[in-house]
Structure formats: C-alpha cells, structure tokens
Amino acid sequence: MDKKELIERTLMSIIGVIICGISVGIFRVAALGVDPFQSLMSALNVVIPISFGTLYVIVNIIFLLFSLLFDKSKIGLATIINLTLLGYIAEYSETFIKNILGPISLFIRFILLIVAIIIICFASAIYFNANLGVSTYDAVSLIISEKQNKVKFKYCRIISDSCCVLIALILFRISNYSWLEITAWIGIATIITAFFMGPLISFFSKLLPYSNRAIN
C-alpha cells in the first residue's frame, strides 16, 4: 500500500464512521425504529441509564474482545474511531437535528428514516472498503462469514441483527415499556435494516473504490 492509497483509505475510514454516527442520530429523531444494533444499545441504555456515548464505548469494548480472540485483522483505525466517537456523534447529532427541526410531522419522520437507512449502509460500505478495521459489531458478522466459507456476509448480518432485535425487545418489555413506546426503537426501520442492511452494504461496496470481497 503506497502513501496515496493509505491516505485515501484513512479518509474513507474517518468519513464512513462520522456519517454512520450522524445516521444513527437521524434514526433516533425519526423515532420509527433504529438499526438492530442501535435498538440493542437503546434498550441497554434503559437498563443502564448512563450517557449513550459512554455506554456505546463500554459495549463495544466487549465486542472488541471477540475480535481480539478470533481475528485481530478486523481491528484498525476505523475500529478505534468507531468505538470512541460514534456513540457521541450519534448523541450530539440527535440533539442538533431536534433543535434545528423542532416538532416534525409523520411525513418528515418517514423522509428522515429513508435518508438514515441509505446513508448508514453507504457509510458502512465506505469504511468496510477502506479495510482499516471495522466497528466491533460489524466485525462479528465478517469474522463468522470468513470462518464459515459457505455462509455469505449478508446472511451472517441478518442473523446477528435479528439476535440484537430479540434481546432489545426482551429488555424493553422487562423495563415495562408498552408496545407503542417500543416502536420508537424497534419499528419499521429496524425491520428494514435487519433484513436489508447486509445486502445494501454489499451493493454499495461494489460501487466504491477498494471493493471488499468479504462482504460481496
């Protein structure tokens, strides 16, 4: 890898993680569900009421141990940026967007939802292709996919996302959240991303430089 390529990959990693954080903030403003991992994080935040950004760091350190144990190659610059910054970027993006938009209609919430889904998949593909590490959660699906050669990334992602949603649902119900309240975190966005995020990331990956074979 020459110096020019390293700079390009580094910028892809940084930009990808930042956009992912912003997209999570948009999901939370839309309140029509969040992506599966964030639904798990939101449910954990109910049980463990500390700063969302701080909780994000703690949970990702746990996932980091999985990568250290099974495949250290997935840990890199993007991993560290994601672990330390994404939760805080999401937290402050949500506050910023709410302050700018104020009360919003259901129509605007659906528009925000569509935007959030597209950019989180695109942003994930950006830092996947940079190949300088991925988020500790993304690493789980990638590692399992590579260890089990017959199972494609997108299917591993669907399984891991579904597990996150199930655990989140249990935690919300244990915390006495009503089904209506739960839809703000586990809703239409969660269903869409659980089944289509993996395939969409694979699709965007093919359109970007340095295509990543592991997710195609």
Structure tokens at 169: 């649902």
Chain segment 116-150, per-residue pLDDT in tens? 999 989 998 888 888 887 788 888 888 888 777 66
The position carrying tokens 């940079």 is 130
Residue 80 host element (H or E): helix 77-81
Which residue ranges make up each domain of the chain? 3-211
Q: Which residue has the higher pLDDT, 44 or 146?
A: 44
Q: Among 119, 112, 162, 120, which residue's Cα sits nearest to residue 141?
A: 162
- Fill in the DSSP letter of residue 73: G
Rounded-to-integer distance, Cα 128 and Cα 87, Å: 18
Give the model's confidence band at 214: pLDDT under 50 very low, under 70 low, under 90 confident, else very high: low
- Provide the pLDDT confidence category of residue 97 given band limits of 50, 70 and 90: very high
On the question of pLDDT at 155 being above 70, the answer is yes
Share of the chain above pLDDT 70, in %: 95
Is the pLDDT at 33 greater than 60? The verdict is: yes
Considering only 25-39, 125-139, 171-185, which range has the smallest mean pLDDT? 125-139
Instruction: Compute and round to an integer the Cα radius of gyration of the chain.
Output: 17
Question: What pLDDT band is residue 169 in, cutting at 50, 70 and 90?
Answer: very high
Q: Which residue has the higher pLDDT, 94 or 207?
A: 94
Mean pLDDT of 197-211: 81
Which residues have CB under 8 Å from 199's CB, separation 6+? 154
DSSP string, 1-68: --HHHHHHHHHHHHHHHHHHHHHHHHHHHHTS---HHHHHHHHHHHHS-S-HHHHHHHHHHHHHHHHH
Per-residue pLDDT, 146: 78
* Window from 38-47, 81-90, 100-109, 160-169 with minimum mean pLDDT: 81-90
Q: Cα–Cα distance between 68 and 7 in angstroms, integer?
A: 25
Distance CA 157, CA 18 (A): 21
40-65 average pLDDT score: 89
Contacts of 67 (CB under 8 A, 6+ apart): 74, 75, 79, 136, 139, 140, 143
The Cα–Cα gap between 93 and 23 comes to 8
Within 13 A of 39's CA, how many CA atoms are on the CB side? 33
Q: What CA–CA distance (Å, rounded) separates 205 from 21?
A: 19
CA–CA–CA angle 135, 173, 36 (5° rounding) = 20
Name the band, by pLDDT with cuts 50, 70 and 90, for residue 185. confident
pTM: 0.77
